Chain A
Amino acid sequence: MSLILVLPVVVPLATAILCFALRTSRWGRWVSLGGTLLHAAAAFALVAIVSDGTVIAAQMGNWAAPFGITLVADALGAAMVAVTAVTAIATAVYALGDIDAERERLGYHALFQVLIAGVSGAFLTGDIFNLYVWFEVMLIASFGLMTLGARPEQIDGGIRYVTLNLVSTILFLMGVGLLYGMTGTLNMADLSIAVASLEARGPLSVVAVMFILAFGIKSAVFPLFFWLPASYHTPAFAVSALFAGLLTKVGVYALVRMFTLVFDLDTGFTHEILLWVALLTMLTGVLGAAAQSDFRKILSFHIVSQIGYMVLGLALFTPLAIAGAVFYILHHILVKANLFLVAGVAGRLCGSTELARMGGLYRSAPLLAALFLVPAFSLAGFPPLSGFWAKFLIVKASLDIHAWLAATVALVTGILTVFSMTKIWGAAFWTPHPEGLSPEPARLGAGARAALILPIAFLASLTLFIGLVPQPLLGFAEMAGAQLLDPADYIRAVLGDLP
């Protein structure tokens, strides 16, 4: 039982070592792809185990909790690892056509695998200091990927990304230290019990705000999101798709985990802050996107606005809202990664991702245009796509508790999202290319074309599938939400039966 919890972390790390050894060989990319497939097998085995509502835990080195490091998988953790695996496969296939030999020689595949290990570790750990360590593993790999190739824009974007993320991790570390000082434990399940018996609620709220700040920078919420649109459009297309899909969502996951398990005592204070943060994040993100004129920058601002929906689900703190947040995170990772993949192909065909220098894609690449519409409309929340159900859950949850303002902002943001998507559609796909260029996909070569289009089609069909058959994922999200709101199973799995 404990092996299956370790595999999603160990497989990518072992693959990373192999990829590093093979970085000058053309086999490195296939080893990397094989590693993501094995990782996915482990992740879906994990989902199969937890899908009936059980929570499994493993104590590393047989040090009993709360003294050793615990790995835990509940419905949310396992689902996050699984969606990470799906994104990893898609970007690994995409990388076959997108990452050049120079970047491979510099260790692209090894960094990619380390990033997957860091993300999976963060989703599975049950120890808060261990979460910090996985954050750092993820960060250092993402720093490498962000600046790989070292074009001047990448260095410039990289500086913003690196410095602000370092501030975030230091705040996180300070919060961990203070929380440990108050409770004497680092195990998250044990923390959940320890904070409940704490006399001093005031300092606890201060620490909670430190965690909001730290994870808020990570997940790019208002007013801490500025590093994201300043950097996500600079790295290689496969890298920005991976970042857009996964990295901010690790921050959101950490928020959801900490603010349902540990900081759930003073919800009138903490979740009120989260509510306003969520509303302002949605609005500023979508308005920021309206002002942009670059394909990837528009999408970057939309990451910010979509994060708002997830945080809103957490802030409303009802079973339906939490389930909606979980559904939203899972749907969003697939859709957003896919949109960045489409942006990559469109950018390569047109020679730029500036909308003013794009066009004619509908005529020359109709398949790409159709595949763009699926995630774009899903992002905006059109039925019958996955985004519709995600938005429906969040809006329904806000109406249920008479949070009229939250529901209004969520719907307005959806409409403004349509505006941005039609802007991209109009400029890049519909109108002819301004320089009279015909962006024929044939220019890419058959192998590269297949490697670039296959993952897009794969993710788009998943979006469509979730949209048409939402019931399984919906049920899963509801179960995950119930587990989050009542963490008794989680605590029992980690600490054993309590007296």
Chain B
Amino acid sequence: MEVLLVLCVGALTAASVYLMLARSVLRFLFGLVLLSNAANLVILAAGRLTTVNPPLIPEGASAPAAAVANPLPQALILTAIVIGFGLFAFALTLVLRAQGALGTLDSDDMTLAEGRPVPTTEDGR
């Protein structure tokens, strides 16, 4: 199971790096989404994968009776997913605004903040 998860993280990271190397900012963002999911899987794997009981304490007891799975990574991942969701929602909106304000999502043409004029292509676009 660990091996499968490790391969999965590797594939996600490779795909995300490929996407982040693209010039389109939108593809870069999709790469970031994949990378954050890879990070979540890393945390899951780091918390040890076991096929024991769910981490539930029977009523009246103060500790689980038998060995249970580690619930902490899931709590961490849940936090990371919620935070990541908010940040990506913001980033997507920003990209949408960039398309409106700059007229392009090609990072080579986004030169406004550098003080250079936005290059226009030959067909006057």
Residues of A bordering B, CB below 8 Å: 129, 132-133, 136, 139-140, 143-144, 147, 150, 152-153, 155-160, 162-163, 166-167, 169-170, 173-174, 176-178, 180-182, 230-231, 233-234, 294, 354
Contact = CB atoms under 8 A, between A and B. Distances in A.
Contacts, number: 99
A129 B76 contact: yes
A172 to B, nearest CB: 9
Interface stretch (B39-47, B50-58, B59-67): B39-47
A180 B115 contact: no
Given A139-B87, A152-B101, A162-B91, A170 B32 contact: yes
Contact of B90 (A143, A178, A233): A143
B94 A158 contact: yes
Contact of B110 (A139, A159, A162): A159
Main SS class of interface, A? helix
A160 B113 contact: yes
A163 B113 contact: no
B43 A177 contact: yes
B112 A153 contact: yes
A230 B83 contact: no
Contacts of A133: 79, 83
B39 A170 contact: yes
B94 A156 contact: no
Contacts of B111: 156
B11 interface: no
A163 B87 contact: no
Interface residues of B, number: 37
Contacts of B91: 162-163, 166
Given A139-B87, A158-B94, A231 B76 contact: no
Contact of B80 (A150, A167, A173, A294): A173
B114 A230 contact: yes
A162 B113 CA distance: 14
Contacts of A136: 83, 87
A156 B39 contact: no
A162 B90 contact: yes
A144 B93 CA distance: 12
Given A166-B91, A180-B47, A153 B113 contact: yes
B94 A181 contact: no
Interface string B73-91: 1001001100100110011
Contacts of A294: 115
Contacts of A354: 115
Contact of A181 (B29, B45, B114): B45
Contact of A177 (B29, B46, B97, B98): B46
Contacts of A147: 94, 97
Contacts of B73: 177, 180
A181 B35 CA distance: 19
B101 A155 contact: yes
Contacts of A176: 43, 76
